[in-house]
A and B are shown apart, each in its own frame.
Chain A
Amino acid sequence: QKEVEQDPGPLSVPEGAIVSLNCTYSNSAFQYFMWYRQYSRKGPELLMYTYSSGNKEDGRFTAQVDKSSKYISLFIRDSQPSDSATYLCAMSAQEGAQKLVFGQGTRLTINP
């Protein structure tokens, strides 16, 4: 069983929809949780970073962490075609972004 599980999709939604992306994990030592966005043929770039449980909001993006359920989510409101990308969750038991463990990535398409 993988340490981090993420539904690979693909996920296709109409423009303006609310998108929910999720990851589950098995290692209770994970304390740092990240979402990366990866456009086609590019390297991943950090979208959201959270420590421990709780919510974090940044514009149209909200990251949620539920450590008791070992479950994290990324919500995208008012989705735009420019949000079309692969979204990868990543986690670490060490400070910050050291030794990340990634999910498989979810490929998201926002249709105009």
Chain B
Amino acid sequence: DAEITQSPRHKITETGRQVTLACHQTWNHNNMFWYRQDLGHGLRLIHYSYGVHDTNKGEVSDGYSVSRSNTEDLPLTLESAASSQTSVYFCASRRDRGETQYFGPGTRLLVL
């Protein structure tokens, strides 16, 4: 079955370290998204991509970057992790003209 996966599911890191969160989908969707979820804020868009080599900044993109070298993957990189980036991160994908974004299971990141 087609699916969207995220790895790792849990990560503890130290401030200042570079961290990369993986997102992989097997639906061949062009559209992929990264969100963070925090109490009191709901889901906030970090970066998104409409296709290979396309990337765009979302609402809370400072300190994060993405790259899209193929259709299936959109890795999210924290260049220098900060405690404010402790959060649950969700990746999502959507087919063109689709009514829904399909979400991965999430990655819980703790920055100490």
Contact = CB atoms under 8 A, between A and B. Distances in A.
Nearest to A103: B42
Contacts of B48: 99
B79 to A, nearest CB: 24
Contacts of A98: 31, 94
Contacts of B43: 44, 88, 90, 100, 102, 105
Contact of A46 (B58, B90, B100): B100
Contact of A96 (B35, B40, B98, B102): B98
Contacts of A8: 40
Interface string B19-36: 000000000000100010
A71 B43 CA distance: 19
A88 B90 CA distance: 14
Contacts of B104: 43
Interface of A: 4, 6, 8, 34, 41-46, 49, 88, 90, 95-105
9 contacts: A42-B106, A46-B99, A96-B97, A97-B94, A97-B98, A97-B101, A98-B94, A102-B44, A105-B42
